[in-house]
Amino acid sequence: MRRPLALVLLAALLAAPASASARATGDYTYTYDQLWRAAVRLVAVDFRFPIHDRDPEIGYLLFSYRDAGRDHQGSLELVRTTGPAGTPSVRVTIQVPSMPTYVERMMIDRLGRKLIEDYGQPPVVRRPAPTPPTPPAPPADEGGDEPS
């Protein structure tokens, strides 16, 4: 009798959805400094969330997301990356693990709108035009058919 109960419990544990660390990510072609300043203003001024720790050199910000009188620990991370055609870009990741994913997505969306309001449209990334294929070299003349 014990064995079937253990198998049922094991099956239930394996079938249960695994808890995943939710996060929202966005890639931007604004400069790192523009993104850092906009992110700090978004968290501290727009949302009025307390910032506990921040380091602009490393690119992280720890804050408390306040909802219904409760604080939820959150983080914002900026990473310099290379976008299409080798253009510099910055990846922003926001995490508030104890809240639903839509909270992080909403914060990323607000950051995107704030960047446009503060700095205008992002720089356009232009891919270089493809180089045309080189024509094949003409065959070498063998020298036997020249008129005299």
Average pLDDT taken over every residue of the chain: 81
Identify whether 14 is part of a domain. no
Span 9-55, pLDDT tens digits: 434 444 444 344 568 899 999 999 999 999 999 999 999 999 999 99
User: Is residue 10 assigned to a domain?
Assistant: no
Please give the residue range of the domain that contains residue 105.
Answer: 20-119
Identify whether 141 is part of a domain.
no
Question: Cα separations (Å) of 58 from 23, 32, 44?
Answer: 19, 11, 19
- Return the number of other C-beta atoms located less than 10 Å from residue 46's C-beta: 13
- Is residue 61 in a domain? yes
Query: Is 5 contained in some domain?
Result: no
